[in-house]
Chains A and B, each alone.
Chain A
């Protein structure tokens, strides 16, 4: 990761968007803990502890978190202003200053969780890896799949592997003649006008890892490339720039 100080070129567009880097805070409650972050004197609610089937993957103490969200209306949650939509990225480098756990306080409660802090109470798979892929249905058309990443990361979380399984299954069932993989490098415009740009080789690492997985799943890509230049940051949908795009073109005569 490299941090660039840049002129605030698009500040008017950021009225509702709140993008910042901060230490996460952990707030204990009588149920599951909440994850928060403070920016410019305000506390924002990021999410609660769940498990890897949830949409929200919590940040980590000892690491700063990149928050890319939009201030949502409504009451505070767990003492923080809710952001929706929200994307959080755990920044890879260690920051030992990020180490705050707040005790539970009366009146501060976490929203309902699918899974309690202890063992699961759901009689359903709690690992996406254990669920077979969805069966693709015809007609089989050219499709593009987007795999999104944390900032500066090529790690495939459980939510990503779920997608890759589906992609491989679609390629297999549709008799794909072309599977193209393209890796991208993103950047984020922060609310303070700074721009974060991902490390140089991340688009290659992302593309190569996806290729390796698709090969292992029996859907070897026919083409792979990566874009070394970072996507220009807008401050609005910058998380989408951290991605790999997989394009699957079925056989022409496949119904």
Chain B
């Protein structure tokens, strides 16, 4: 080999070392969702696990440069790769999060020493005239490592588990160390430090401002790429329902592009003004980030690929610029400084994305963060360029002005609590953390601009909007936890706590928390049902036996009010989502009525009688009108256009649990088909599921496969829960409108007998049932006298000439007469329309009276009520099953 080509052999050995190093570093991200699930990490922990990359680069970069200077890059690089192999092997066997965390730290420590030495090796062995290209090739090799590394890990992870995928990476690192040791020779000699940048002289990298600025540039340029690399797989699975392999191909697409982008920009750096090249690179990065905010998978793919590839190339070419600052022995320290500062940013990047994800419940905020990082990169490049060029200064000013102008156009992620009239966009798809994982929210009609939208704007004098009680983050209702937070945050001033129905009674002292106890403690809204009903002479008389709120005996608001006699009952707001199922018209005959279903006076068609606790409103339109007047205290009826927009919005929004902390992605391809909001949107309403061939929530057989992992075990529990729901028989008895409609009492059946509507678990026919939640003695309230009783108690005495309540007779004590307040029928006392089973994890407590604080309490109630004798395991299986719906 001639002396002019002597650099080629060590350069190729360095490239191979880089290949071995980066296959695991950049390629392992498709395994991250499995690792996260295995150790039950939340997104902040995931951010730390991934972002440790940057943390350790801060710690080890400068020592790595110093060691390279002291012992030579060959020794340090080989030892570093060996350490990488050991760390990966340890991670593959880690039993706990703590040990996994430690193994990852060892792996990344070795990585950092190796990485700095790779840069030193390239800087010292390659001629300056081809430095851009050589760095570009190095970047391309690095990207290529990811291209083959991501599918390698993804495929092995899918077929043999993530642990074996990690072990395979360890083998690759070991091979890299061996090859580098054998073939690398440093032919550069040792020269004194000197700068190739005119006007900048320094003998130490640590005292060179340009070195530090380039280090910041390197960090910024790569921050988006490194951050996206860790979060794109999770986002792809959550937003686009890609499985592990699909997500890994998305990553490998980005790194495939990075091969060419690295080569292209390496070539351009050697041919053109390097600042211009870097500026164009950052500009393209901004466009890539914008594309990632799209809800179109193809556009998201393009955006993610651009961000990954351009960021990758940006890092590499920052080292090209850095290699020119000081030469010789100081090269190690230059690379150490650049690597350290880059590490700061690569630590902050994933951390920020993790925090933004946990804060916003979605990924979009993170994508905007990436856009912002690219924009700052552009500004910094232009700033550095402007030191040497007047034209550059003008360009910088213009770009800055442009960035300032377009910044407000970027929408913010929706907050967990949407306040009326605050504006903002509700994305087409978004997610919110809840007790068991994440709730998925899908706007089938696309993003919703909430500014000026009547669902989100105050409707009347109390400042409430529909969204006040129907929050997307809480499955389009509200949880007690959220209500408590609002009380604490606003000291009870939030419109939610409006006196009209957000307090136990309007005539109580509204500033006192105790006056809102039923809302704060049980999530209940007061409903003043006029008594007697307007349309029918009641078959019973009603007396107030106990009145903890004082509202039923109030001279103004009570049962004997001279102006507006009413019965105050307290009920949970219902989910204003998945409504195509809930409003699906019942057949003309309602089995429980023994006659025809109610008819919508506006359309003349039979209605579902299934979306309010007492079926008092025939349609979403009439519900919106009355809610505006009563809950919103609108001073005039809502205009028809307003009603239409409210109903249109309600009719296109779908919610369901989409991610479970233990079961993982619920909407993955090949998983159970009824899970996730998209399944809700795509499924046909009005299908009876009380059968063994097309059941209520479809089949969970795919999760019955035996597995060793905690995730597989949990999924098997969910599948068993579905089987219990569908097939576990018990004596279903004394439930009015089930046993009493010709089916017999008792009925040897299963949960699915009553909860038979596909996808929601409601009753497909008009669904009010007296399951015993509100009527004594089975009610959910304390069985014995209690001073702490929260709900009113009414005594119902049925007339002698009408059919009595089938299981309680003619005298009934109840905390909520339910449907009977509307129908006036004795047989309906205590009957409540059953609710959807979806998004349960986001909206505790349960039952119309908010009596069950958890899913376990809910299951326990049914176990007692029907003497099911569920085993502890069966109860847990049911809870796990309900939690993922």
Q: Identify the A interface with B (CB < 8 A).
A: 26, 28, 32-33, 35, 49, 51-52, 57-63, 92-94, 101, 117-123, 126-127, 129-130, 153-159, 161, 165, 199, 201, 209, 212-213, 216-217
Contacts and interface: CB of A to CB of B under 8 A. Distances in A.
A51 B743 contact: yes
B536 to A, nearest CB: 12
Interface residues of B, number: 44
Contacts of A154: 594
A57 B595 contact: no
Interface in B695-742: 695, 726-727, 729, 731, 733-734, 739-742
Contacts of A101: 731, 746
Interface string B744-771: 1111111011000000000011000000
Contacts of A60: 739-740, 744-745, 806
A8 to B, nearest CB: 30
B745 A61 contact: yes
Interface string B251-274: 000000000000000000000000
Q: What is the predominant secondary structure among interface residues of chain B facing chain A?
A: loop
Nearest to B744: A58
A94 B745 CA distance: 13
Nearest to A32: B748
Contacts of A213: 595-596
Given A57-B742, A62-B734, A118-B750, 12 more contacts: A49-B744, A51-B743, A58-B744, A60-B806, A118-B727, A119-B750, A122-B691, A126-B690, A127-B688, A154-B594, A199-B801, A216-B595
A49 B748 CA distance: 8
B746 A26 contact: yes
B587 A58 contact: no
A53 to B, nearest CB: 10
Nearest to A54: B742
A63 B588 CA distance: 30
A129 B594 contact: no
The 4 closest A-B pairs by CB, nearest first: A58-B744, A60-B745, A57-B742, A129-B587
Interface in B573-606: 586-589, 591, 594-596, 599
Given A94-B807, A161-B589, A217-B588, A209 B743 contact: no
B452 interface: no
Contacts of A161: 589, 595
26 contacts: A26-B746, A49-B748, A52-B741, A52-B742, A57-B742, A57-B743, A57-B744, A59-B744, A60-B739, A60-B744, A61-B745, A62-B807, A94-B804, A118-B726, A118-B749, A120-B691, A123-B691, A126-B690, A127-B587, A127-B764, A130-B587, A156-B594, A158-B589, A212-B596, A213-B595, A217-B596
A191 to B, nearest CB: 24
A212 B747 CA distance: 31
Contacts of A57: 742-744
B693 interface: yes
Nearest to A48: B744
Contact of A121 (B587, B596, B692, B803): B692
B809 interface: yes
B693 A94 contact: no
Contact of B741 (A122, A158, A201): A158
Contacts of A33: 746, 748
Nearest to A49: B744
Contacts of B587: 127, 129-130
B746 to A, nearest CB: 6
Most-contacted residue by chain A among B591, B804, B808 (CB, 10 A) = B591
A134 to B, nearest CB: 15
B584 to A, nearest CB: 12
The prevalent SS among residues of A at the interface is loop
B691 A93 contact: no
B765 A129 contact: yes
A53 B1 CA distance: 92
Contacts of B749: 117-118
Contacts of B688: 126-127, 130
A131 B591 CA distance: 13
A212 B598 CA distance: 12
A119 B690 contact: yes
B733 A129 contact: no
Interface in B159-182: none
Contact of B589 (A63, A126, A129, A199): A129
A62 B806 contact: yes
Contact of B692 (A59, A119, A127): A119
Nearest to A158: B591
B447 to A, nearest CB: 38
Interface in B797-819: 801, 803-804, 806-809
A14 B750 CA distance: 41
A35 B746 CA distance: 10
Q: Name, among B587, B589, B741, the residue most crowded by chain A CB atoms within 10 Å (CB to CB).
A: B589
A165 B606 CA distance: 14
B867 to A, nearest CB: 11
Contacts of B734: 61-62
A154 B802 CA distance: 11
Contacts of B750: 118-119
Nearest to A31: B748
A118 B732 CA distance: 12
Nearest to B692: A119
Contacts of A209: 594-595
Contacts of B744: 35, 49, 57-60
B691 to A, nearest CB: 4
B665 to A, nearest CB: 28
Contacts of A201: 801
Contact of A93 (B726, B742, B801, B804): B804
Contacts of B595: 156, 161, 209, 212-213, 216
Interface string B288-299: 000000000000
B600 to A, nearest CB: 13
Nearest to A122: B691
Contacts of A119: 690-692, 695, 726-727, 750, 752-753
Given A92-B804, A94-B804, A158-B589, A216 B745 contact: no
Given A101-B731, A117-B749, A118-B749, A157 B804 contact: no
A17 B749 CA distance: 33
Interface string B400-441: 000000000000000000000000000000000000000000
Contact of B746 (A61, A156, A212, A217): A61
A156 to B, nearest CB: 5
Contacts of A157: 594, 741-742
A206 to B, nearest CB: 11
Interface string B667-711: 000000000000000000000101111010000000000000000
A169 B745 CA distance: 33
A122 B806 CA distance: 30
Nearest to B733: A61
A120 B691 CA distance: 4
A57 B743 CA distance: 6
A92 B750 CA distance: 26
B727 to A, nearest CB: 5
A94 B734 CA distance: 12
A118 B692 contact: yes
B806 A49 contact: no
A239 B745 CA distance: 22
Contacts of B740: 60
Contacts of B690: 119-120, 126
Given A60-B740, A213-B595, A153 B748 contact: no
A32 B806 CA distance: 23
A59 B729 CA distance: 20
Nearest to A124: B691
Contacts of B692: 118-121
Contacts of A122: 691
A169 B571 CA distance: 41
A242 to B, nearest CB: 15
A205 to B, nearest CB: 10
